[in-house]
Amino acid sequence: MQKQGKPKRLRKPQSQARPGHQSEMKPVPVTKPRPYTNGRLFNKVALITGGDSGIGRAVAELFASEGAKVAIAYLNEHKDAKETKRLVDAYTECLLLPGNLSDERHCRQAVQAAFKAFGRIDILVNNAAMHYESKEIKDISNAQLIKTFANNFFPYFWITKAVVSRMKRGSAIINTSSVTAYRGSDSLIDYASTKGAIVSFTRSLSSNLVKRGIRVNGVAPGPIWTPLITYSFTPKKIAKFGSDAPMERAGQPAEVAPSYLFLACDDSAYMTGQFLHPNGGEIVNG
């Protein structure tokens, strides 16, 4: 077992009679609200995977409205990506990075291109994902299992590995998991497994980077209306999508994006290794 030193003394020893008086504390606690004005990400650069549509687009536009320059990595959805660029360019600057993120070399190249264009990367949002519906585990082929992990988990690791060495103290990494990581999914077994891996990856990485001043958190959305849904399920299931959530509806990407903004800016300066759960009211542990 590693020997631990004495804990650091952060303030002078002190005590008060109950109930205590804040004015006599040394130092006095900071309670003044932070000013909520536009520009919480001013002069920041964000790299967002899966930024062409859905949650990624909503995050890209919101970040840009708060002053961040944005690079979005996506596969080949060029029409959607160009629309995201148009929306971001209305505020700041947007760089498009098409290509297959399941290729480690491309992940490194995307990071290099973003850094070359903007000179820094302050925020990384790992968000790209896909899934297939399968009724039974026997229906999940090895090829599908490998492809799901190659799309949903490996790029998070590879891009983060390439970005971390370029990040400075105060930077933030935000990983997209899913409510399925916490309660499972009988028809998305391989997908839910990748999302569980992302939770463990986030918590482990946060511990690894905490002393470098890089915060690592995540968002675990519930049913959100994105293109992922329209190509994954049957028309009948799509018609009812989200109705089983406590709020009895699917969420919109714009309702999820503020969670990413909170974790990206200094409002969440005392959070790392945590997940936010915009999921329509489902109670989960974690």
User: Does 156 qualify as catalytic in the annotation?
Assistant: no
- Residue 81 belongs to some domain of the structure: yes
Structural domain boundaries enclosing 190: 38-276
- Residue 14 belongs to some domain of the structure: no
pTM: 0.92
- Residue 26 belongs to some domain of the structure: no
- Residue 134 belongs to some domain of the structure: yes
274 and 202 in contact (C-beta within 8 Å)? no
**Tens digit of each residue's pLDDT (9 = 90 or more) over 138-179:** 999 999 999 999 999 999 999 999 999 999 999 999 999 999
Higher pLDDT, 28 or 231: 28
Q: In angstroms, rounded to a whole number, what is the distance separating the alpha carbons of residues 79 and 180? A: 30
Query: Which of 22-45 are b and which e, b meaning 16 or more Cβ less than 10 Å from the residue's Cβ?
Result: eeeeeeeeeeeeeeeeeebbeebb
> CATH number, domain at 240?
3.40.50.720
The three-class DSSP label of residue 193 is helix
- Residue 67 belongs to some domain of the structure: yes
- Residue 4 belongs to some domain of the structure: no
Q: In angstroms, rounded to a whole number, what is the distance separating the alpha carbons of residues 46 and 89? A: 14
Q: Which of 200-204, 229-233, 248-252 has the lowest mean pLDDT?
A: 229-233
Instruction: Please state the domain count of the chain.
Output: 1
**Tens digit of each residue's pLDDT (9 = 90 or more) over 145-155:** 999 999 999 99
- Active-site residue (options: 191, 231, 260, 270): 191
- Residue 56 belongs to some domain of the structure: yes
- Residue 86 belongs to some domain of the structure: yes
